[in-house]
Amino acid sequence: MASDTDIKQLEASALKDLDAASDGAALEEWRVTYLGRKGRLTGLLRSLASLSIEERRTVGRSANDLKKRLQEAYDWRIEHATKARVEQVIAGERRDVTLPGPPLPRGRLHPITQTMRDIVASLSGMGFQVAEGPEIEWDRYNFEALRIPQDHPARDMWDTLWIDYEKDGRHPMLMRTHTSPNQIRVMEQREPPIRIIVPGKCYRFEATDATHEWMLTQVEGLAVDEGISLTDLKGTLAEFARQMFGRDRKVGFRCDYFPFVEPGMECRIDCFICRGDGCRTCHHSGWIEILGAGMVHPEILANAGYDPERYTGFAFGMGVERIAMLRYGVDDIRHFYSNDLRFLRQF
């Protein structure tokens, strides 16, 4: 049976316990014990049922007043507790916000990998799939099947590192000089439509200087289908160039020669340093060459077993180092494979 005495006792014990509650968990426990749905105050109110209406009214009022007081005391404690913590920090536990956090290890991808991924992502978006091939190749794939037979003067365009392996008086094995041999390998295995890119390392018998490396990375592209024309090649390369070098790039094309394409071309972008006025980067031409391309020579399609009257295609190839140099403003290609961390960590 509830009485004013009960209420007083409850208040005394509640306030004592509240005082003793030292942390958030204890405060929460106190709240459940006294103010919760199954708490002691609710229990007390529930026991009013056995009283007369008048008594119920008086004790009920006192109980409700107590609930209010306890709630206030609790709220004050909560507020005070946070406040005290805040004051404690302000008073003596400030952080010097200019100090660094503890270091987390940071790894980065090589700039050539980063550039390669951007190139692949751009072309993947146009439906080109990656197809990789061997870096040590047969002469047959690297040259002969690309219309560059033995003793052809175009071989001078790709100075070659030959593997010390002789067969029938010739050296048929070499370090591939470009990624083009994989065009042939893919065409041997698949039927049109074909839309592939071949990323990978290539090698040249070439003295190194600021713009030449003997090991280089290329991306080759090949599309073969009915109805592919030079205007598609132009459109694909223009879109690629703008994705890589900015939407406002102008893209130009000039005639060039590669034995495996006809017509052949070179793709250029307007120099983004001088915007076409002529500067050192563009050798005062206003243009920067970024890749070679052309329509796949009908003989190559025929050799792959495709009907060159029905199918046409285009191919293109670019040096990833060159693209990376242009994008990052790197002035010497030899930085890439010297692996100086002071260089690599910039990217």
Task: Please list the active-site residues.
Answer: 158, 178, 204, 218, 261, 315
* DSSP strand pairing (311-319 vs 215-226): antiparallel
Asked if residue 154 binds other proteins (CB under 8 A), the reply is yes
> Which residue type, as a one-letter code, is found at position 158?
W
Give least dist CB 331 to other proteins, A: 19
Number of residues that bind other proteins (CB under 8 A): 88
Among 86, 149, 188, 212, interactor with other proteins by CB under 8 A: 149
Contacts of 224 (CB under 8 A, 6+ apart): 187, 192, 193, 194, 296, 301, 306, 311, 312, 313
Q: Using the minimum distance from each CB to other proteins, give the nearer residue, 39 or 259.
A: 259
Could you say which residues in the range 60-79 bind other proteins, by CB under 8 A? none
CA 198 to chain centre: 20
Stretch in the footprint of other proteins (CB under 8 A) among 56-64, 83-91, 169-177, 327-335: 169-177
CA nearest neighbour of 150 among 183, 177, 172: 172
Instruction: Give, as ranges, the residues between 85 and 124 that touch other proteins (CB under 8 A).
Output: 100, 102-110, 112-113
Tell me the per-residue interface mask from 323 to 342 with other proteins, x by CB under 8 A, - otherwise. -------------xx-xxx-
Pattern 224-253, other proteins, x by CB under 8 A: -xxxxxxxx-xxx-xx------------xx
Burial class (CB in 10 A: 0-12, 13-18, 19+), 293: buried
d(CA 313, CA 257): 16
Nearest distance, CB of residue 194 and other proteins, angstroms: 6
Structure tokens at 35: 């103010």
Is residue 255 within the footprint of other proteins (CB under 8 A)?
A: yes
The answer for 147, left when phi > 0, alpha when psi is -120 to 50, beta otherwise, is left
One character per residue 24-63, x = contact with other proteins (rule: CB under 8 A): ----------------------------------------
CA–CA gap between residue 298 and residue 276 (Å, rounded): 36
Binding residue for other proteins (CB under 8 A) from 203, 245, 260, 306? 203
